[in-house]
Structure 1
Amino acid sequence: MNRTVQVGIIQQQNVADVHSNRATIATKVKSLAEEGAKLVVLQELHDTPYFCQTEDTDLFDLAEPIPGAATEFYSHLAKEHRVVLITSLFERRSAGLYHNTAVVFEKNGTMLGKYRKMHIPDDPGFYEKFYFTPGDIGFEPIDTSIGRIGVLVCWDQWFPEAARLMTLAGAEILIYPTAIGWSDMDDHAEQIRQKDAWIISQRAHAVANGIPVVSVNRVGRELDPSNSTSGIQFWGNSFVAGPQGEMLYEAPSDQEAIRVIELDMTRSEQVRRWWPFLRDRRIESYDGLLKRFLK
């Protein structure tokens, strides 16, 4: 029997006001649900601007406990529109202990589970190690009414180990809420190389694991509050790839976008029969992967 999933994605430019961002998201979720979306994916840290451009202890005030006001809002939104909703929140676990956390809601509003970002970058303009403790709940897919989904977050998307472990635990779709963009210090050619590498790496996860990938990025320029740089131009290009890496949809790099994309979930079964990578893995020979480096 054929099985399809209607996936809605929201690529947007954020403003400083949390309530305004949430209102925009609510309007777009409603629109996607009316178009038939059963799963809606939001971008990384969608409630606020990307605050990690600077190191500022006052910005920890943006974090909220889970459950809390943010999860209450998104629980209601998922229930109102009968969609499985993937959110990305700044979690306050305790004083001095914070995570970059994806939370998954069922179409009845139930909070099904969460994933705490495991790989934390620390680069100019992306000072995430200052804000986020690495995740401690592993790579565990979450069962939903549309299937078992493996949610990872942004920097995780560069690590094939994360995608593989989610797949080995039964994930049927890999989902990446993302916030990635360009620095003006890089010339145009370098910017294109970066964007292409970002897309290629995730399409490779789809191919290597034989499952679809949904990657949702933010878009637009966000200024550096410290004025030490010109900010980040988030490059959009949210996309959905099928189990052979085939591009099913790609958003523009310079404007907001919402779209419903149909995933043929039965195709993954066929692709894995043609290309049985999981069968041919030499698991007895991979001990070196547990080492930092082999020399």
Structure 2
Amino acid sequence: MGKKNYTVSVIQLELNNSPDENRKKCIAWIRKSANQGAEVICLPELYSSHYFCQSENVENFSFAEPLGAISFTAFSTLASELGVVIIVPFFEKRTAGIYHNSAYIIDTDGKQAGLYRKMHIPYDPHFYEKFYFTPGDLGFQSIDTQKGKIGTLICWDQWYPEAARLTAMKGAEILFYPTAIGWHPFEKEQYGENQYGAWMNVMKGHAVANGIFVAAANRIGLEKYLPNTDGIEFWGKSFICGPQGEILAMASNAKEEIVMAEVDLAHQENVRQNWPFFRDRRIDAFQDLTKRFID
């Protein structure tokens, strides 16, 4: 559908445990972003609540909602009103006992252009996502919208070059990564710089290896809602980079902000013509990628 350049934004927010408050906040920030010229707008991962995966607690399943519920209807109405594409990451209740970490891609007419379910599910200290989420079963997708071809992955997916590659190979012009990533405060001083650097490096690497734009929408703030824990300090730094890994726009690590840049399709084509990585891939030699490990 989309053939012209278009402006994208990611919105960096501090979120709490009230879905109604978070939804109202997100709607206000999306309006602000659209008023500034954004045509495709992405919210952070699990926008409607605090990052509840810090604990394994069945009460947190109350944050989940079925397809077509309030997270769709509210943002569908907004997308249609503003004439923008909105990426809405939410906690999906598929049925009793099956839940996903998902994202709607809502088109400018308010219709669902696509649905992505997070494929890679982490289980680390205070990132206990396997307790809540079933791995995605919709695969990696390029979603056609009225603005452009959108690829959406979610947080932990960002560490997997195969995910970025397959999404790019399906025609996506930009990879959006709704994200909730931060530091454990007790280890920030020792490991924090390297952890943040690894995140930036791998994301920029996806952009370079695939000749694609990359945009990440992160949270900010210290979310400490459990007793006897230090919580997680989300490091912000939401950004958009170009197909050579060049940073086009970046947020701070502590403020609610809109990060905005243009997807320049002529620039992308030029980069791919001069760095033809897709042309030179040895697809005849990649069979072992489907194995867990090569013994």
Q: How is 1:235-274 mapped onto 2 (pairs within 5 angstroms)?
A: 235-274=235-274
For 2:51 and 2:236, locate their aligned partners in 1 and report how far apart those are by CA, in whole Å.
14
Compute the TM-score of the two structures, normalised by the length of structure 1: 0.97
More deviation in 130-139 or 183-192? Answer: 183-192
Q: 1:114 is matched by which residue type in structure 2?
A: L
- Aligned pair 1:171/2:172, yes or no? yes
Aligned residue number for residue 201 of structure 1: 202
For 2:244 and 2:183, locate their aligned partners in 1 and report how far apart those are by CA, in whole Å.
28
**5+ long unaligned stretches in structure 1:** none
- Alpha-carbon deviation of 1:185? 2.3
- Alpha-carbon deviation of 1:96? 0.5
Deviations 1:227-261 (A, max 9, x none): 23110000000000000000001111112111332
For 1:159 and 1:185, locate their aligned partners in 2 and report how far apart those are by CA, in whole Å.
27
- Aligned pair 1:99/2:100, yes or no? yes
Q: 1:293 is matched by which residue type in structure 2?
A: F
Assess if the C-alpha contact under 8 Å between 2:91 and 2:100 holds in 1.
yes
Aligned residue number for residue 146 of structure 1: 147
Which secondary structure state, in structure 1, belongs to the residue aligned with residue 187 of structure 2? coil
Assess if the C-alpha contact under 8 Å between 1:179 and 1:218 holds in 2.
yes
Aligned residue number for residue 41 of structure 1: 42
Aligned residue number for residue 232 of structure 1: 232
Deviations 1:115-172 (A, max 9, x none): 0000000001100000000000111111101111110000000000000000111111
For 1:152 and 1:18, locate their aligned partners in 2 and report how far apart those are by CA, in whole Å.
22
Compute the TM-score of the two structures, normalised by the length of structure 2: 0.97
Which secondary structure state, in structure 2, belongs to the residue aligned with residue 123 of structure 1? coil
For 2:121 and 2:166, locate their aligned partners in 1 and report how far apart those are by CA, in whole Å.
18
For 2:188 and 2:16, locate their aligned partners in 1 and report how far apart those are by CA, in whole Å.
27
Aligned residue number for residue 280 of structure 1: 280
* Runs of 4+ that moved beyond 6 A: none
Assess if the C-alpha contact under 8 Å between 1:224 and 1:232 holds in 2.
no
Aligned residue number for residue 293 of structure 2: 293
For 1:248 and 1:188, locate their aligned partners in 2 and report how far apart those are by CA, in whole Å.
28
**5+ long unaligned stretches in structure 2:** none
- Alpha-carbon deviation of 1:95? 0.3
Deviations 1:169-205 (A, max 9, x none): 1111111000001002214241011011001100000
For 2:71 and 2:85, locate their aligned partners in 1 and report how far apart those are by CA, in whole Å.
16
Q: How is 1:15-26 mapped onto 2 (pairs within 5 angstroms)?
A: 15-26=16-27
- Alpha-carbon deviation of 1:224? 3.7
Q: Cα RMSD over matched residues?
A: 1.1
Assess if the C-alpha contact under 8 Å between 2:11 and 2:44 holds in 1.
yes
Q: How is 1:116-135 mapped onto 2 (pairs within 5 angstroms)?
A: 116-135=117-136
Q: 2:229 is matched by which residue type in structure 1?
A: T
Q: 2:279 is matched by which residue type in structure 1?
A: R
Q: 1:78 is matched by which residue type in structure 2?
A: A
- Alpha-carbon deviation of 1:46? 0.7
Aligned residue number for residue 53 of structure 2: 52
For 2:189 and 2:69, locate their aligned partners in 1 and report how far apart those are by CA, in whole Å.
42
> Compared with structure 1, are the counterparts of its residues 80 and 56 closer, same or farther at alpha carbon in structure 2 (3 Å cutoff)?
same
For 1:3 and 1:275, locate their aligned partners in 2 and report how far apart those are by CA, in whole Å.
22
For 1:171 and 1:34, locate their aligned partners in 2 and report how far apart those are by CA, in whole Å.
25
Assess if the C-alpha contact under 8 Å between 2:71 and 2:88 holds in 1.
no
> Compared with structure 1, are the counterparts of its residues 281 and 242 closer, same or farther at alpha carbon in structure 2 (3 Å cutoff)?
same
For 1:95 and 1:87, locate their aligned partners in 2 and report how far apart those are by CA, in whole Å.
22
For 2:248 and 2:188, locate their aligned partners in 1 and report how far apart those are by CA, in whole Å.
29
Assess if the C-alpha contact under 8 Å between 2:221 and 2:254 holds in 1.
yes
Q: 1:291 is matched by which residue type in structure 2?
A: K
Q: 1:252 is matched by which residue type in structure 2?
A: S
Assess if the C-alpha contact under 8 Å between 1:54 and 1:224 holds in 2.
no
- Alpha-carbon deviation of 1:263? 2.3
